[in-house]
Chain A
Amino acid sequence: MDRHLAIIAERDPAIRAFVRLTPDLAAHQARAAQERYQSGNSLGPLDGIPMAVKDVLNVEGVEVTAGSRILEGYRAVYDATVVARLRQAGAVILGMTNCDEFAMGSSTENSAFHTTRNPWDATRVPGGSSGGSAAAVAAAEAGYSIGSDTGGSIRQPAALCGVVGLKPTYGRVSRYGLIAFASSLDQVGAFTSSVVDQALVLTAIAGHDQLDATSSSRPLGIDLDLEAGVKGLRLGLPREYFEVDGMEVGVKAAVDAALRVLEAAGAELVDVRLPHTEYGLAAYYIIAPAECSSNLARFDSVRFGRRSPGAATLLEAYSQTRGGGFGREVQRRVMLGTHALSSGYFDAYYLRAQKVRTLVAQDFTAAFEKCDAIVSATSPTVAFEIGSKTADPYQMYLCDVLTLGANLAGLPGLSVPCGRSEGLPVGLQILAPQWGEATALRVGRGFELAHGE
């Protein structure tokens, strides 16, 4: 733990992965872990491992702000279930990591506090929204970290920072204590430096939670298959994912090379189609804003968070607090969502988007009849320069075109580093059917072994 704090002190002033450190908490937890170790009572493989938590998960007693001014000073009064489970496994919590405000963004540039830098190139973004969590692991500031993924917010930063990231099946990991963005899309997951570590963390956090009615008790089943390799597995290559607008030549080349590695290791590559891919992006940018407009209604200056001074009436308190406390991307999405749900527009926007969502899910079901896992690039580009996609919001939304399908369909998705383009990391995305984390991890681990990293 001291070593991690020293690395943070040395590297984080430049990278700024963290928004706040919890050194006293970490020291207390590290001491306890040390005592357990010395008396032969270790809690398991995660005991004493220093880790970091995205600023959207409640850690009791710690300031949690979702990257927003509107929650400045808010101290969590309970632990998120994921945090509680990791504490039980002996986690040493180093601090809260930076993220796009309320998890809305693909670059961490929407944080109200500061922009995190990609450890590979400080002029570039780490991805988002869990950019701080990804950067912390990439820079060895934390042994692993926790993030959340609503449209790609774990997988895309994992790809841009060259680490492993997993979005579990919807319902695999409890969302209790996660500051909600879009409740039918959100999932909590981890960043690690290897697939095996990913399996360890997932085992610790997955499983039914009484406090989350959408969580499942289905067993993970990952101990058996993880080292089985990819021989005999059919890997689906969706044409639409390989032909997206803006796919960089270098990213395509790195992914193609990864496919050759997988083929040489015994996987069978199969062409599949996901015909509604393009419409999935549009559906996501109705559904996610609609759900967020509802979830963010609670930030009303009454029970928690900031209140704008000088409001004479309750309505003014609402408007001034929210208008002044939410950043631009959050306001955009809240307004978009409110519009999509409002009288006269609900059928044309929200209802239609939920029907297109069904079609996206059906595309995946059909594809999985021909393959065991779907493989593609995670992101169409490598890490882009800070400020290069902020002029047109839709350009930023396009970053998620390959990742958001899995959120719409509730599928597990893993991103593993697969090479470089122009010296920057490229991520390979592996999607499996619902509850198929074992398959995704097996392919990821098989790739790691065959690729030799």
Chain B
Amino acid sequence: MTLSRDDVRHVALLARLGLGEGDEAYYTDQLDSILGHIDRLSEVDVDSVPATAQVVALEHRLRTDEARPGMGQERALSNAPASREGFFVVPAILEEEP
């Protein structure tokens, strides 16, 4: 399967990665090449093989349903690029209609 520039543009949008014009061509070439190597996976007969759900057998553990102190608002906000009155401040979520 080959990867087109449209595919890369789509994927970059899904992943919220802002790409410049030159970047698109650059990544398309490289990702297409990598996928070319990975395509050999289609040679493997996986018909009756279950997908790995857990790597090692996990032990099921529960704890008592007791409230405990969490991180706290001060620590949670301590690395925020912008905050005000206990909130994370972000740019406009919706674009305004002109």
Contact = CB atoms under 8 A, between A and B. Distances in A.
A260 interface: no
B14 to A, nearest CB: 5
Interface in B64-98: 71, 75-76, 78-82, 88, 90-95
A323 B46 contact: no
A358 B11 contact: no
A358 to B, nearest CB: 5
A334 B15 contact: yes
Given A302-B90, A303-B88, A318 B16 contact: yes
Nearest to A335: B11
Main secondary structure of the interface of B (DSSP, over half): loop
A314 B92 contact: yes
Interface residues of A, number: 74
Contact of B38 (A170, A285, A314): A285
Contacts of B41: 279, 282-283, 286, 349, 352-353, 356
Interface in B11-37: 11-12, 14-20, 23, 27, 30-31, 33-35, 37
Main secondary structure of the interface of A (DSSP, over half): helix
A285 B31 CA distance: 11
Contacts of A365: none
Contacts, number: 177
Interface string A332-376: 101110110010000011011111111101000000000000000
A393 interface: yes
Nearest to B83: A303
Contacts of B7: 339
A301 B89 CA distance: 10
Contact of A339 (B3, B49, B80): B3
Contacts of B38: 282, 285-286, 349
Interface in A257-286: 276, 278-279, 282-283, 285-286
A293 B31 CA distance: 15
A351 B46 CA distance: 10
A417 B42 CA distance: 37
Contacts of B35: 336, 339
A331 B27 CA distance: 9
Given A312-B92, A335-B8, A356 B46 contact: yes
Contacts of B20: 323
B34 to A, nearest CB: 6
B27 A311 contact: no
B30 to A, nearest CB: 6
12 contacts: A73-B79, A170-B55, A171-B56, A171-B58, A285-B37, A302-B80, A302-B81, A313-B95, A332-B30, A332-B31, A334-B17, A336-B35
Interface of A: 73-75, 77-78, 169-171, 184-185, 210, 213-214, 216-217, 276, 278-279, 282-283, 285-286, 293, 297, 300-307, 311-320, 322-324, 326, 331-332, 334-336, 338-339, 342, 348-349, 351-359, 361, 392-394, 397, 408-410, 434
